[in-house]
Amino acid sequence: APGVFQLACLLVELDTAEEASRILCADALYQMGRGEEAQGLLSLALSRNPQRAPVLARLALLQLKKGFVYDGNQLLQRVIRTGDTSCLLPIMDIFKDEDRKLMQTHCHVQALAILESQQED
């Protein structure tokens, strides 16, 4: 992760508008346990493109990790509204095992709640 982080930082310096480099840099920071810094980079990327599903999904995980369930839910709902949920599966490969389980459990519980509310209607 430190080598990837250094490479991503160089790529960001070469092209400050390149979003993929920022995401790669944020992923490396996350892997190194520097979630706050990763969140800062992702928030910057989101401010430039507020409908970017891969950024929203990564931010959702960071919010869930901090125990901010409401914020995590809001970000996941934004991912769903973009219609680009295909980004979730590749992102799950980046997450650490415990975070992957956290995200899967959270999404499963929320899906069950939605299904139960629809059945009641």
Which tens digits make up the pLDDT trace of 43-94?
A: 988 888 888 899 999 999 999 989 999 999 899 889 888 888 888 888 888 8
DSSP string, 6-56: HHHHHHHHH-TT-HHHHHHHHHHHHHTT-HHHHHHHHHHHHHH-TT-HHHH
In the chain, % of residues over pLDDT 70: 98
Domain that holds residue 70: 1-118
- Residue 27: partners with Cβ closer than 8 Å, 6 or more residues away: 4, 38, 58, 94
Query: Does the structure show a pLDDT above 80 at 101?
Result: yes
Q: What is the tally of structural domains in the chain?
A: 1
CATH at 22: 1.25.40.10
Percent of residues in the chain assigned helix, strand, coil, to nearest 5: 85, 0, 15
